[in-house]
Amino acid sequence: MKIRLLIFFFLLPLTFSIAQDDNDISLEQIWRDYMFFPNRVPGFNFLKDGQHYSKFKNNNIVKYDITTGKEAATILNGNAVDEDKLGVMDSYTFSEDESKIIIETESESIYRRSSKGIFYVYDTKDNKLELISDLGKIQYPTFSPDASKIAFVFENNLYYKDLKTGKQHQLSIDGSKNQLIFGATDWVYEEEFSFAKAFWWSPDGQKIAYLGFDESKVKEFTMTLYNDDMYPEYETFKYPKVGEDNSKVYAFIYHLENEETVPVDMSDYEYIPRLKWTQDPNQLCVFKMNRWQNDLELLLADAKTGSTTSLYKETSKYYIDIHDNLTFLKDGKHFVWTSEKSGYNHIYLHDMKGKQVKAITKGKWEVTEMYGVDEKNGKVFYQSAQESPLRRDAYCVSVKGGKAKKLTSTEGWNDVQFSSTFSYFVNNHSTANQPSIYTVYDADGNKVREIENNSYLRGVMETYKVQPVEFFDFKTSEGVTLNGWMMKPKDFDSNKEYPVFMTEYGGPGSQEVVDKWNAFDYWWHQMLLQKGYIVACVDNRGTGGRGEEFKKMTYLQLGKYETIDQIEAAKWLGKQSYVDADRIGIFGWSYGGYLSSLCILKGNDVFKAAIAVAPVTNWKWYDTIYTERYMRDTKENEKGYKENSPVYFADRLKGNYLLIHGVADDNVHFQHAAEMSKELIKHNKQFDTYYYPNKNHGIYGGLTRLHLYTKMTNFLLEKL
């Protein structure tokens, strides 16, 4: 559910002129001129030799040496191949042997992870460019392992093209909008299980495993779009809300040789959140889950018959988070997997009968990301919060377990990307007070070169005399230790009283209190400091980095303990001698907007103002997969829904409330804001509202963000 806010980054040094005698930060500088965003190094497209990577340069695909950053070769001259045909390239993907490239043009976004476009295949050996399909805009073209074929989706049907013969094969024929989907996911899988392409080539390239979605019984939701026409447009899509029918999902294996489709034999399941081929091209791993998502089983399916046997089972008294941390080793006898079964997320080695062979990592700390397995050298690379929930470091450890080696030495947040051979990695390092520095290291953690250090932005920070982020923790009345950060105005005087602006997200497994650069709202917070506010943030119970019990204790009562903790944080802040306890406000977006709404209603004697952007206001209106994972449905947990949805507490509003929503929000529907407004009006509660036509959950585009932040800033200046 957590939104991905659109951030504009500059890939070249910024050259704005800054007057030394004018240190006031303005919203126009932040959201119109984008003066303060850091230079960013995008993800590397490492080539298979582990020494080189590729990237776009002037509509060319260029090869670079990772150790020097120097150009090694031009792989594709986009202007010379066929400029009229190709146009501007949006993205590209190499085949496994790097002999061919899929090139995307005219890309068109659909939802969060889905898109369609015009795609070409380029043969690097004969300099040949070919349109993949003349059907129109297609989705997710993917090479077979030997690059002889490309599978793709068009209008809910799955196809593949034989590049040698030029023949196009249609694997499914019944796909239709809002009815049947083959090879792609429905809306709720895309949003909550985090994938949109739903087909996978077998290792031998002779089979394609794919999912089919029958969403005919899923109820529809319609959004209204206003485009200066006589009548508005209506976008209708399938959206399963709490307790309603999901798509019925099936797994299939298509055999290219005989054009036969084999259904995978499964029973007693609601979701198929992942498919993954093992090292054996005749053996497919299928994930299946129950509706409450606390029962996960990995099945091994025989590609010839579709029959299945159980490989691994995991249950939880709460819920199980789906992830992609499953690696079948090339020995064909083992797999590597991550699990929270010890109470903390760790890495395990299992045999192909599902038996645990070894806990590769262990301890009262979290593995937060799996970077991969270097089978040649028998190492596993990962990121963890071993030293502090506020920090992240990269490590490597033997597949056999033992003492891990720490690869990063700088305190703060380290997020790395390894080359394809694990010979080098690029570290994106930042702290709460220092923007990103991108550095290349070898596999042993030795520095090779610095790519980008954002020295310009650090100079801007000095010019504007930014104030530091300071970390703190405190104990609630229930004895729970919570982590927080605080920023104080320039020339802070502990004998004065300052208003406090709290910001939060607070959703399951999230973290806002981390020693990491906040590119999104850092400069807005600095602007508020200049206007005399203290800005603070506290991570409530239910957030991540501190183990399963801390994260999942909000189960069936989503919002209850989070609200209690934010209220306690506000009370703790109010007791500090330098805080005006009568002037505390709170802000959040998405789950954070849900939480800020609950806070001003349930904490109406604590908060003077609250801003809620795109909030959930009643959990029964949100989608099945996300909500039922944490709350089950209203039949099983009516109390949890009634006691923790803002619409039921509208009568408690005393302070100043600003409710903001995009009318074209496909995720948290405008319905949430409309129903909340209705309840507030019903109880004669005055509040402020801002609605953004044609804007989705992120509320961006053109000057939209400037407009939004102007409203929020003015609201705070007037009401807090």
Query: Per-residue pLDDT for 657 more than 60?
Result: yes
Alpha carbon distance 284, 7 (integer Å): 39
pLDDT, mean of residues 212-241: 97
Query: Please, which pLDDT band fits residue 43 given cuts at 50, 70 and 90?
Result: confident
Residues present in the chain in total: 720
Alpha carbon distance 102, 131 (integer Å): 10
Our CA dihedral for 544, 550, 554, 559, rounded to 10 degrees, sits at: -60
Query: Per-residue pLDDT for 18 more than 70?
Result: no
Backbone φ and ψ of 330, nearest 5°: -70, -15
- pLDDT, residue 520, reads 84
Tens of pLDDT, residue by residue over 364-374, are: 999 999 999 99
- pLDDT, residue 12, reads 35
Tens of pLDDT, residue by residue over 262-274, are: 999 999 999 999 9
Our CA dihedral for 153, 189, 209, 147, rounded to 10 degrees, sits at: 50
Query: Per-residue pLDDT for 8 more than 50?
Result: no
Residue type, 285: C
Query: Per-residue pLDDT for 522 more than 50?
Result: yes
Give Cβ neighbours of residue 180 (< 8 Å, ≥ 6 apart): 156, 174, 212, 213, 214, 215, 216
- pLDDT, residue 22, reads 59
Query: Please, which pLDDT band fits residue 179 given cuts at 50, 70 and 90?
Result: very high
Query: Per-residue pLDDT for 378 more than 90?
Result: yes
Alpha carbon distance 130, 119 (integer Å): 9
- pLDDT, residue 611, reads 98
Query: Please, which pLDDT band fits residue 14 given cuts at 50, 70 and 90?
Result: very low
Q: What tokens were used for 448? A: 């090779």
Tens of pLDDT, residue by residue over 484-499, are: 999 999 999 999 999 9
- pLDDT, residue 84, reads 61
Alpha carbon distance 215, 338 (integer Å): 31
Question: Given strand 168-170, what is the order of strands in its sheet?
Answer: 139-143, 149-154, 157-162, 168-170
Residue with tokens 């302070």: 655
- pLDDT, residue 21, reads 43
Residue in 261, 263, 361, 276 with CA at minimum distance from that of residue 312: 276
Query: Per-residue pLDDT for 115 more than 90?
Result: yes
Query: Per-residue pLDDT for 313 more than 70?
Result: yes
pLDDT, mean of residues 701-712: 98
The proportion of the chain whose per-residue pLDDT surpasses 90, expressed as a percent, equals 92
Residue in 338, 285, 278 with CA at minimum distance from that of residue 314: 338
Per residue, the 3-state secondary structure of 82-99, as one string, reads HHHHHCCCCEEEECCCCC
Query: Per-residue pLDDT for 83 more than 70?
Result: no
Alpha carbon distance 213, 211 (integer Å): 7
- pLDDT, residue 471, reads 98
The domains of the chain, with CATH numbers, are 27-38+457-719 (3.40.50.1820), 171-322 (2.140.10.30)
Give Cβ neighbours of residue 68 (< 8 Å, ≥ 6 apart): 449
Tens of pLDDT, residue by residue over 554-590, are: 999 999 999 999 999 999 999 999 999 999 999 999 9
Share the mean pLDDT of the chain: 95
Alpha carbon distance 207, 212 (integer Å): 16
The proportion of the chain whose per-residue pLDDT surpasses 70, expressed as a percent, equals 97
Query: Per-residue pLDDT for 15 more than 80?
Result: no
pLDDT, mean of residues 25-42: 93
Question: Given strand 115-123, what is the order of strands in its sheet?
Answer: 91-94, 100-109, 115-123, 128-131
Tens of pLDDT, residue by residue over 614-624, are: 999 999 999 99
Query: Please, which pLDDT band fits residue 7 given cuts at 50, 70 and 90?
Result: very low
